[in-house]
Structure 1
Amino acid sequence: MEIKNLTTEQRNPATMHIDSMSTIDMVKTINQEDKKVAVAVGTQDDKIARAIDEAAKRYSKGGRLIYIGAGTSGRLGVLDAAELVPTYGIKPERAIGLIAGGKDAMYVAVEGAEDSQDLAKRDLKDLKLNKNDIVLGLAASGRTPYVIGGLDYAKAIGALTISIACVKDSKIGDHADIAIEAVVGPEAITGSTRMKAGTAQKMILNMISTGVMIKQGKIYENVMIDVKPTNSKLIDRACRIIHTTTGASTQKAKDTLKEANNDVGLAIVMLKTNCSLNQAKSLLETKNGNVAEVLNK
């Protein structure tokens, strides 16, 4: 399909006169369009769930979440990767965002970079891609050559490939193990896929990466237990997490956190099971460090 015929490139009849609307009507119109995003993403629930399950298996074997894309899609991948590090206490090398054209492309368009399939292959080779890795290819239009090249190389290596597009029957979907296609319709501003398409991609990435982290035991109930208490603010947050999940007093939470060498999950297990430090460590070892699996038995 020619670019001009893609859903993401069509003119939106609801915004034909957005340039002459009052500011409040402009805002309301864009808001109405944005409401369509969650519905479109919801049509892909089964595929997103499958992506989480398959990605979690690979990640637990040491695989990495590797995002590839160009322009807005590439920036969203870099953002998701970067945010996982402080949120879940993972090592930076476990979540990597690749954008066509390299770091400079985060701020300034790099001409021609997205049109090169070989460039993505080189970028993935530099990372020493392996079969345990997960490659998420993002392209609102569903046809970016950089993404196609990356997905093809990843499949050849045996890595899990997931595509995320905002058009039906996307080209990148033909090159992925799991094709997620949230069709959000024409943008309020024709072709400006940083809007609805970008929001949809961000929502999908939020679900996939969060789901993978949940399955790694990074969450207990609905709190982040791998927060690293490296300053007074974070120590206070860690103590509050322990207090709210165990019912222990603030002082008891603080004392147990110190005994557990600032390991929030370990402190929670100690308090919830009334175990010693070593006993709690042993329990966690039997469940690969997954607090929820230890306590929700």
Structure 2
Amino acid sequence: MSFLVMAGATLPLGAQPVPNRLGVTPSAQSRDFVANKQQFQLHSLLTEQRHPRSFDLSTRIAADTADGLAALLSVDEDISAALQGVADDPARLAALEHASREITRALREGHRLYFYGTGSTGRLAETIESGLWRPFWQRTAASPAMAKIEARFPGLGERVRGEITGGDRALIASLEGFEDIPEIGRLQLQDNGIRPQDLVFAVTEGGETSAVIGTALAAADQAGADARRTWFVYNNPDEVLRPFERSRRVLDDARITKIPLPTGPQAITGSTRMQATTTSLYVLGVVLEDATHALLREVLTGDELAALGFNDAGIAERLRGFAAIQRTTAAAAQKLAAWTDREAASYAAGRHATYLATRALMPVFVDVTERAPTFRLSPLDPVDAAERRSWIQVWTPAADGAQAWQALLHRPFHGLDKALYLPPFENGIDDPYLREAALRGLSNAGDEQQALYDLSFSDANLQRSGPQAGDTGALILLGDEAHADANRRWLQAFAAAGAEPVLVSVSARPLASDALADVAALPRPVPVIAVTVPQRDAFELNQTIALKMLLNAHSTGVMAKRGRVVGNTMTSVQPGNLKLIGRATWLILSHVNAVLETPAWRTARGSTAPLTYAEANAVLFEAIEQRRSAPGASGLPEVELSVVAVLDALKADRPIDWNAAVTQLRAGGLSRYLAPYATATGAPGR
């Protein structure tokens, strides 16, 4: 097998290495990280561990795509178990019911709700606003009940704000330096006009994200001793967070109400865009929908509520109901494999993918943009790109880029104003590395960024980056979405160009016959992945979550088939912030020391002193520099380059030869390089 157990003997983090056996002198940044940034060395977190069900993913999916996808989707069973546990625990269930009542009260009294997160949880926050809340009110605007609602609660549809660290530009690609700065959370709270009586939900999958913690503390300072105003939502157990000072500040702050939602390791180690974010999005969506239902019961009849999609299911029933959604989604693995194989083949041939979505636009956009940092891909191309670097693009039926952004956000684009952020960044950030990263990020975060990205299915985009032979296209439908003429034209355009379209639908009802007829009329067979999730709800949360799980499994499967995953570790990770530098260091340490413990290594080399954390980190920072300067190193992930360089050096008992490591890695990839050392026991507890 081509994976290695991330276990075995490792020296304590403070242990001394064999004196410069690798020939690498730690840089100033490396010395600073090891000595002063222990609070970002997060390998002890539950979300950073390897999951046994997907342990050998890269091997399994290479042999059988459907089997690999089934392994990925099976990890979502952990969410079912966790939510069942919350539903069965009176205290934890009461906390969610309390949150629902507080939301109802705040909305009734004319206050706002503010959901804030970084990276994946920032996209979660924006999904709550722009993928659930605002679309619900747009649908409701066509209902006769809207007049009664507006008379009693005017402007209700404008009362929820979801914000990502760095503003809307960070939806395209996270401005990585921002998340390590608590001050930006306070500044964005101020920027969005959040007042002491508003409710703030600070969401962090790890429970340690500095920007989110800054938001929670700033909100608590606003609200004073009233713990009903500030909520902290996270996915790691308290006991593993307590070693981190910034996490303790929140956990021990009586002004902040905590909602812990741990589910366990992620399907891809540390990739919290998967189970952690699915859990928090579903739970917060259920709570918000429950609160909205309670509020609207004050003005609408039962029939009017039912017409809007509400039912009598309470929070506990909804939490238990996740298991049925998960089973329905997981059952689609075999059909999903056709799409995964098709898209992976397009990338292997140097081609591209284009997704078209209307109601599904936000979950589709989120999954696509999260691929770049997870798997070391180029982010979406700007309109002025000289050549296509991104493997994929997302379109929606719109006349131009401005209309497409409106279709995504259902509100104006919101960037960061330098007048507000620049002085605190220049004068209030003591760490020179963080200050430099923050200023660099701020230069790419303003309102002007909107014009650089065009998501429209328009003549301009067809001319700029239209379909070509060998491309993959995916038409993705969500909920009770009608099969529009734009969808038909898109299918025909892709088929005519020799591209390979796929139709994906997640709805409470079977796929409409007109969509099937249009697909059948195309010259080549088109895979159809239709998932029926009969549990309807007003916000279409159930269908959105099912689509999210499908997309997460599909995109991860594609990247695993393209060699961007080793075992179930994200060895292509981009070390662009302190947390990811820590993760990359741990991956180097773990993969190297796992090899040193194998019988194959010991037979050939005897006992070798394990790599230390300081050595691994020094090599990582050197690899970052080598990637910029060494011939042929551009495009190689730092973790993979480091693992090969270290093992080659230890094998030959000589300093690291970066050029030789580049040659080795380019010859066959990390999985092939590690194959001779694969453990005989296989993955633990599949």
TM-score by length of 2: 0.32
- Taking the aligned partners of 1:129 and 1:226, their CA distance within structure 2 comes to 30
Deviations 1:18-62 (A, max 9, x none): 111122221222222101102213424232112111222222111
Alignment of 1:226-237 (within 5 A): none
C-alpha separation in 2, matches of 1:32 and 1:206 = 22
1:141 pairs with 203, 206, 210, which one? 206
Q: Which moved more, 1:211-220 or 1:45-54?
A: 211-220
Distance, in Å, in 2 between the alignment partners of 1:220 and 1:52 is: 20
- Choose which of 42, 47, 50 in structure 1 pairs with 2:95: 47
RMSD: 2.4
2:136 is the counterpart of 1:60 = no
| Paired amino acid for 2:283 | I
Cα 1:57–1:91 change in 2 (3 A) is closer
Matching residue within 220, 231, 244 for 1:162: 231
Instruction: Tell me whether 1:71 sits opposite 2:110 in the alignment.
Output: no
Quick check: 1:86 aligned with 2:135? yes
- 2:596 is matched with none
Contact 1:61 1:132 in 2 (8 A): no
Aligned residue for 2:65? 23
CA offsets 1:162-217 (integer angstroms, 9 cap, x no match): 11111011525445632111111111111111111111011112112102211211
Alignment partners' CA distance in 2, 1:50 and 1:178: 10
Structure 1 residues 217 and 195, CA gap change in structure 2 (3 angstroms): same
Q: Is the 8 A contact 2:53 2:74 kept in 1?
A: no
Match of 2:53 among 2, 5, 14: 14
The answer for the alignment partner of 1:124 in structure 2 is 189
Change (3 A) 1:20 1:225: closer
- Distance, in Å, in 2 between the alignment partners of 1:4 and 1:224 is 48
Aligned to 1:223: 306
**Greater relative contact order (CA < 8 Å, ≥ 6 in sequence):** 2
**57 and 92 in structure 1: CA distance in 2 versus 1, 3 angstrom threshold:** closer
Aligned AA for 1:51? A
Q: Distance between the aligned counterparts of 1:177 and 1:220, measured in 2?
A: 36
| CA–CA separation in structure 1 for the residues paired with 2:309 and 2:77 | 33
Q: Which residue of 2 aligns with 1:290?
A: none
Give the superposition deviation at 1:98: 1.3
Check the 8 A contact 1:40/1:182 in 2, yes or no. yes
| Corresponding residue SS for 2:75 | helix
1:167 partner letter: N
Q: 1:276: which partner in 2?
A: none
Q: Deviations over 1:78-102 (max 9, x none)?
A: 1101221231355553110111111
Query: Retained in 2: the 8 A contact 1:68–1:99?
Result: yes
Q: CA deviation at 1:135?
A: 0.5
Question: What's the counterpart of residue 275 of structure 1?
Answer: none
Structure 1, 218-227 or 175-184: larger mean CA deviation: 218-227
Q: SS in structure 1 opposite 2:231?
A: strand
Q: Which structure: larger Rg? A: 2
Distance 1:53 1:47 in 2: 10
1:127 shift after superposition: 2.6
Q: What residue is the counterpart of 2:624 in the other structure?
A: none
In structure 1, runs of 5+ residues without a counterpart are 228-233, 235-297
Unmatched 5+ residue regions in structure 2? 1-38, 87-91, 141-154, 242-246, 311-479, 481-686
8 A contact 1:51–1:178 mirrored in 2: no
Q: In structure 1, which of residues 113, 136, 145 is the aligned counterpart of residue 178 of structure 2?
A: 113
Distance (whole Å) between structure 2 residues aligned to residue 220 and residue 81 of structure 1: 26
Deviation at 1:137, TM superposition (A): 0.7
How big is each residue's C-alpha offset from its partner over 1:128-163, in whole Å with a ceiling of 9 and x where there is no partner? 322221101111100111111111111111171111
State the identity %. 26
1:182 to 253, 257, 261: 261
Q: Is the 8 A contact 1:87 1:224 kept in 2?
A: no
Q: Per the alignment, in what secondary structure is the counterpart of residue 176 of structure 2?
A: coil
Matches within 5 A, 1:208-287: 208-217=287-296, 221=302, 223=306, 225=308
- Between 1:112-121 and 1:82-91, the stretch displaced more is 82-91
What is the rounded CA distance, in whole Å, between the counterparts of 1:220 and 1:79 in structure 2?
29
Residue aligned with 1:136, SS: strand
Match of 1:33 among 51, 75, 80: 75
C-alpha distance in 2, partners of 1:18/1:65?
Answer: 40
CA spacing shift, 1:15–1:145, aligned 2, 3 Å: same
Change (3 A) 1:61 1:91: closer
1:166–1:184 contact (8 Å) kept in structure 2:
yes
* One-letter code aligned to 1:10: Q
Whether the 8 Å contact between 1:85 and 1:91 is mirrored in structure 2 is no
Structure 1-normalised TM-score? 0.70
User: Structure 1 counterpart of 2:232, which letter?
Assistant: S
Change (3 A) 1:120 1:134: same
